[in-house]
Structure 1
Amino acid sequence: MTTPIPRLLICIPIIHTQSDMGSLKQAEEDQPAVTQLWQEIEEKILGFELPFNKVRLYQDGLPVSDLATQIVKETAAQGSHNHKLLMLLIEKGATLMGTEDPSLLLEEYHFDKQLVKQEISKEDASTIKLAQSLLERRDRFIAERVNATLSFGEIGILFLGALHQPNKWLEKDIRIIQCG
């Protein structure tokens, strides 16, 4: 009798650039350091020689939606190295998964908009508490999404901004590999 292959989650820390966030400005994408970082991430992932038909891709900031693939295609077309890599992995057979609760992403968008307009102070204790709460709720949802959709014998690749910490809500049978 063979032992079932556990669920595996490879966590890739990322830094969001302007095109990842929906901006048409691409100055950050053109910086050599950004290009080099994404080349290294791509080489690392391809170096694992994964069975891509058993790979699920999770991307922070990507809502659970029927439009997830379209969002990634459009963002890749705007110059996002992150989303270009997702498209490459999809072409190799990986499955793209909507990863975040759209209502929480919308809440964060409105929160960030208030910060930019200086309607709220980022130094204010209540603002800090709200930001922490929002990040925690997003992390819980991401973990719940991985828990529910990553099956035994599958490999997840989670592209995640540095502040996120969903690991404490992941089920215990998911083996985690931290890259970077």
Structure 2
Amino acid sequence: MGRRLIYIPIIHTEVDMGSLAEPLKKEYIKKYGIPKWEQHLKKINDLWTGIEERLNQRNLRYNQVKVYQDGLPVCGKELQIVQDIANSGGRNHQLLLKLIHEGATLMGTEDPALLIKEYQLIKDAAAQKGAETGTDGRANYLAERDAFIANRIDKTLKDGETGVLFLGMLHKVDEKLTPDIVIDYLIYHLPFKEAVSKKKNCNSSPEEKDLTR
């Protein structure tokens, strides 16, 4: 029967970023201006509308679906975390709850220790404390996170099951998955497909990188 993974590149919402949202917003507006920020918010909203529509079209057998989420630690409190963020208005996590309601299984996805270390790096960079070092360090943590996520999927996704992975576009988990897992990319319209292609070729603009971190 095989294993299948629906791979969904995402852009994080302000709610997803938690306490980092405000400093990152200020940094972005300082670089690109308020109009670009407003365009960014509209793009995010359109993205999640499109993702939900595309997933609905897949007619998944949800009792055979496992859901993996960027930034969701393996901790035993995964559902509570998702509910809290969804209640704060996060469309990503609202969609997770919908999938769970349909019968999908929520999976802790990331190493908590790596998430904490990367969080501190981003926080320091946003505060302009050793931003250059923070960027280099984050690239290292991103690779470690990708390796952990790929291993987590490999160990938990069983034969005949479908995984749904929501993951920021700078990640490269798809390059680390075992070859027996068939990857099905869900990209809701061409601009996001182009963004993923640019990421693969390391040609993303600074603005795009700020949007996808």
Q: TM-score, normalised by structure 1?
A: 0.89
Q: Which residue of 2 aligns with 1:59?
A: 69
1:132 pairs with one of 125, 135, 139: 139
Matched, 1:157 2:132: no
- Helix, strand or coil: the match of 2:131? coil
Mapped partners of 1:117, 1:129: distance in 2 = 16
CA contact (8 A) 2:122 2:138 kept: no
Mapped partners of 2:17, 2:77: distance in 1 = 16
Mapped partners of 2:43, 2:124: distance in 1 = 31
1:25-60: per-residue Cα shift (whole Å, max 9, x none)?
7998xx444332211101101100000000000001
CA contact (8 A) 2:68 2:109 kept: yes
Which runs of structure 2 are paired with 1:1-180 in the superposition (5 Å)?
5-23=1-19, 31-122=41-132, 126-180=133-187
Mapped partners of 2:98, 2:135: distance in 1 = 37
- Helix, strand or coil: the match of 1:130? helix
Root mean square deviation of aligned Cα: 2.1
Deviates more, 1:11-20 or 1:32-41: 32-41
1:84-130: per-residue Cα shift (whole Å, max 9, x none)?
000000000000001000000000111111112211033xxx54432
- Give the direction of change, closer, same or farther, for the CA distance of 1:129–1:33 in structure 2 (3 Å limit): closer
- Give the direction of change, closer, same or farther, for the CA distance of 1:56–1:93 in structure 2 (3 Å limit): same
Structure 1 residue 169, shift from structure 2 partner: 1.8
- Give the direction of change, closer, same or farther, for the CA distance of 1:36–1:129 in structure 2 (3 Å limit): closer
CA contact (8 A) 2:146 2:172 kept: yes
Mapped partners of 1:25, 1:140: distance in 2 = 26
- Give the direction of change, closer, same or farther, for the CA distance of 1:127–1:19 in structure 2 (3 Å limit): closer
CA contact (8 A) 1:24 1:78 kept: no
- Give the direction of change, closer, same or farther, for the CA distance of 1:143–1:25 in structure 2 (3 Å limit): closer
Q: Partner amino acid for 1:10?
A: I
Deviates more, 1:110-119 or 1:88-97: 110-119
Structure 1 residue runs without a partner (length 5+): none
1:71-93: per-residue Cα shift (whole Å, max 9, x none)?
00000000000000000000000
Q: Partner amino acid for 2:125?
A: L
Q: Which residue of 1 aligns with 2:197?
A: none
CA contact (8 A) 1:7 1:151 kept: yes
Q: TM-score, normalised by structure 2?
A: 0.76
